[in-house]
Amino acid sequence: MKSRTIVRRRIGSSPVSFPTPLVPLELLTAGEHGRINELDGSPEFVHRLEEMGLRVGALVCMVQPGSPCILAVGHQRFSLRIDESATVMVEVIR
């Protein structure tokens, strides 16, 4: 059986901070903003996301939800289909 490596990148939390609910990126609605808090998945997929600007701490805006979705990161927009073996968790900014 082939072993599978999973990479997890996460924003650390201080002992005095209040826990913030995280949601999967796919659950953001059109126009909602979030900050990426966790990236989980294969090293190759996480690296690909980071190359596109989807790294821990990045601000994103959901332009069009769905599969694929359209995201805005900074001044760039791109289409993204999240791999079912990967998870991008965001803190919703209201």
DSSP string of 49-80, one letter each residue: HHHTT--TT-EEEEEE-SSSEEEEETTEEEEE
Average pLDDT score over residue span 43-70: 94
What's 89's domain CATH number?
2.30.30.90
Taking the C-alpha atoms of residue 4 and residue 93, their distance in angstroms, rounded to an integer, is 33
In a domain, 83, yes or no: yes
In a domain, 2, yes or no: no
Q: What is the pLDDT of residues 25-51, one digit of tens each?
A: 999 999 999 999 999 999 999 999 999
In a domain, 34, yes or no: yes
Domain count along the chain: 1
Total length of the chain: 94
Domain limits for position 34: 21-93
The predicted model scores a pTM of 0.77
Whether 20 shows a pLDDT value over 80: the answer reads no
Mapping DSSP to helix (H, G, I), strand (E, B) and coil, where does residue 45 land?
helix
In a domain, 58, yes or no: yes
Whether 8 shows a pLDDT value over 80: the answer reads no
DSSP string of 15-38, one letter each residue: TTSPP--EEEGGGPPTT-EEEEEE
